[in-house]
Structure 1
Amino acid sequence: MKSPYQSLPPERFWKTGVSEQHPFSIIDLYKRKFRILPTDKIATAGSCFAQHIGGHLRAAGYNVIDAEPAPNGITDAAARKFGWRTYSARYGNIYYAQQLLQLVEEAYGLFTPSEPVWEKQGRYYDAFRPSVEPCGLSSPAEVKAHREEHLAAVREVVETANIFVFTFGLTEGWIHRESGTCYPTAPGTITGTYDPKVYEFKNYRTSEIRASFEKFRSLVLERNVTAKFIVTVSPVALIATASESHVLSATTYSKSVLRAVAGELAEDYADIDYFPSYELIATPFSKGFFYSSNLRTVEDQGVRSVMRVFFSQHPAIKKKPSKEKVLSKDDIVCEEAMLETFSA
């Protein structure tokens, strides 16, 4: 009697595909769905781990969009402190799909967010990217003017990107109770004031996350028929949870939901590819080798291993070493890390 498992290739079995492989040498984990051409313009967005991907793509010679370039003469460290040279626009970390959708809807006048300006000690901040102006601005009007410039850059990204790389990071977020407006951080974490009558915790479900990304995809394709998408899931654990679960269970839930959504999207759409960065870092395969002692921060060698697998299917364009700075773990800007300050 024949079995459907007969004659399957080695990567389909745990023994030959995982336990007998080494994290530094595995390259057959990923098979691309489509090519990235040297002429393609690439947009990057997502949670903190996405910053690594963008930096490595630039260093490899890919054309990564920078629609909001830093001022001339500013150092790289200073630029990143103010949100430049981090993603394809100065939107900061976009941790979840609803946040991504909301940004694009706002950019095209399809959504007007509530409570867009937060205040702290007489300074004013963009509630949707509170870390890009660390010292705040002098007035709500100035925040609004800066945001209008930013939204113009977002429209440029949407309309010119051939490849959009997005890293799903979290399911947990904070929303405005009355309108559903979502924020990248809880009010009172970086700026703003938490009022439970105004804001509430939201743990997005699988169906909601998928629907948000599908709507985002549709909005992009309406304005840019050439766009394709590569989705990943961040292997970085939650630093804190506002759910009633232990943070370990909350992390497992969040990453499982995001991985399921990413897999379904890649299965159902020819223009969406899934790249398994999560599997390379966070599963038993790596034996925890790529995490720092806090079991959360991904070591630089882990990032290099992830990108080695990516480049096995999308070879580097530059033949000579690039002068482009590849980010280390210490360069990553992560608003979520501020939650550690509330730990007992």
Structure 2
Amino acid sequence: MADHPYRDLPPEALWRRAVAERSPLHLEHLYRPRFPLGRETRIAAAGSCFAQHIGRQFKERGYAFLDAEPAPPLLEAGERGRFGYDMYSARYGNLYSARQLLQLVQRAQGTFTPLDEAWEEGGRWFDPFRPTIEPDGFASLEELRAVREHHLGAVRSLLEQADVFVFTFGLTEAWIDTRDGAVLPLCPGTAHGTFDPEQHAFHNFSWPEVMGDFEEFMRLAREVNPTMRFLVTVSPVPLTATASGQHVLTASVASKSILRAVCAELVARHEHVDYFPSYELVTSHPMRAMFFDPNLRTVAPRGVAHVMSTFFEAHEGTATAAPTPASTGRPAQVPVPHEDDVVCDEAILDTFGA
């Protein structure tokens, strides 16, 4: 028989041996880390709401997870998520798109200043780019500005100190201020602000846009920190609602497919980028939707546990030292209570359905 490239493929390259004949709970070699993450590795994280699980697991397992904006000591643990603390490495809330992440860094570096500075409602002030971090709003515009400047300083600190930046891609759909292209985390009017059809436009990011945005983010980050590496994932949580005009199922599949394809290309182009398949571990058909709650959208605790155990088992043996405190972005407190209480701003859209 003639020789050919398929004769000596490893088991994980063959569907029958790698998937069909195995339990979905024990798929071998699904994730092979491109670079190790030791307990001394300074890690920063951002992204959609599913990414909160990743940060919490890093903290609980004793990794040097950076928190450049820790909660005030007097704020009760159960209230921290409601005010945007203990979610990520800074108090930026959920960053659903690569454009949001890029613009956040541009704002922190002073190269982009959105025209929409604040929303006023009943004498209280809300940040359009973090509309839910202060549930009752700020007492004054001056207070909002001061807190924002502190926040952007924390973002600059993360870029300077992080060895690895973890980003979970969530959505391609977004609402944009047509005057300057600023991306908002939520459609104005859903939580705070006022929707203006002349000012606010729906936009569904294409593959080239998402790819370009994340590559530009990496370029800016590595200008500050040339050795920074990146770990990307795709959230397995589907869209709560779509403004695309499509059925929400096809819109969700299209969005996630674009994001997954971007991750594949990022890994192919850049040696300093790794991909972890949290999306496949939850949503692929061998999993039979067993990791979703009955609403078929939110990931059940057993699904989170499966994803996280797969990740950390792949990194066994890479942790060699105790966490090293950073001068400004220091390892967050552990343990973190209420680990399954995830703050997902997008979930508010579900309340508008009939």
TM-score w.r.t. the length of structure 1 is: 0.96
Contact 2:231 2:274 in 1 (8 A): yes
CA distance in 1, matches of 2:9, 2:338: 39
Deviation at 1:18, TM superposition (A): 1.4
Q: Does residue 324 of structure 1 match 2:335? A: yes
- Counterpart of 1:183 in structure 2 is 184
RMSD between superposed Cα atoms in Å: 1.7
Q: Tell me which moved more, 245-254 or 123-132.
A: 123-132
Q: Does residue 343 of structure 1 match 2:353? A: yes
Contact 1:23 1:305 in 2 (8 A): no
CA distance in 2, matches of 1:327, 1:162: 27
User: One-letter code of the match for 1:222?
Assistant: E
CA distance in 1, matches of 2:67, 2:334: 17
Q: Does residue 129 of structure 1 match 2:139? A: no
Q: Which runs of no fewer than 5 residues in structure 2 stay unpaired?
A: 322-332
- Counterpart of 2:212 in structure 1 is 211
Deviations 1:290-338 (A, max 9, x none): 000000000111111111111122128599xx96236544x00000000
Deviations 1:54-97 (A, max 9, x none): 11111111110010011113222111110111100000000000
Where does 1:216-227 land on structure 2 (aligned, <5 Å)? 216-227=217-228
Q: Tell me which moved more, 10-19 or 277-286.
A: 10-19
- Counterpart of 1:274 in structure 2 is 275
SS in 1 for 2:80: helix
- Greater relative contact order: 1 or 2 (C-alpha under 8 angstroms, separation 6 or more)? 2
- Given the superposition, is the C-alpha separation of residues 155 and 61 from structure 1 closer, same or farther in structure 2, using an over 3 Å criterion? same
Deviation at 1:27, TM superposition (A): 4.0
Q: Which runs of no fewer than 5 residues in structure 1 stay unpaired?
A: none
Contact 2:98 2:214 in 1 (8 A): yes
Q: Does residue 262 of structure 1 match 2:272? A: no
Deviation at 1:24, TM superposition (A): 2.4
Where does 1:91-240 land on structure 2 (aligned, <5 Å)? 91-240=92-241
Deviations 1:162-220 (A, max 9, x none): 01000000000000112101111000011000000011001000000000000000000
- Counterpart of 2:245 in structure 1 is 244
CA distance in 1, matches of 2:320, 2:251: 41
Deviations 1:239-270 (A, max 9, x none): 00010100000000000000000110011100
Q: Tell me which moved more, 68-77 or 84-93.
A: 68-77
- Counterpart of 1:311 in structure 2 is 312
Contact 2:38 2:320 in 1 (8 A): no
- Counterpart of 1:87 in structure 2 is 88
Contact 2:84 2:91 in 1 (8 A): yes
